[in-house]
A = this chain, B = another copy of it.
Amino acid sequence: MFSSELKKGSTELLLLSLLEARPRHGYEIGKLIEARSGGKLQFKIPSLYPTLSRLEERGLISGRWVEEPGQRRRRFYRLTKQGSAALGEKRATWHEYVATVNLVIEPEGA
């Protein structure tokens, strides 16, 4: 639906946002983005894993393997304290960016 270029700046914000309420694993995050957006916003789920790894490397999220009977092993990520702070900043930056772009692109005399 939306070009990958458009998505580029906001993927991390999306992932962090969805980990705010509770820990989730990669696949679940991918499906949740699709569900919450009414199918409009979709990611190739395999492409989320490198992003999750990156966020973990930077200490914004922390993952642990969970094995439950009758389920294959899943890696649940939770938001760290740093991640929570980063999320706040990213949300603010996002809203400011949107407002700024809107200011520039609005038709003359609008």
Contact = CB atoms under 8 A, between A and B. Distances in A.
Interface of A: 2-3, 5-10, 13-14, 17-18, 20-21, 33, 36-38, 40-41, 91, 93-94, 96-98, 100-101, 103-108
A32 to B, nearest CB: 8
B97 A6 contact: yes
A104 B8 contact: no
Contacts of A100: 2, 37, 40-41
Nearest to A21: B108
Given A13-B105, A18-B104, 15 more contacts: A2-B93, A2-B100, A6-B10, A6-B93, A6-B97, A10-B101, A20-B107, A33-B104, A37-B100, A37-B103, A37-B104, A41-B97, A41-B100, A41-B104, A94-B105
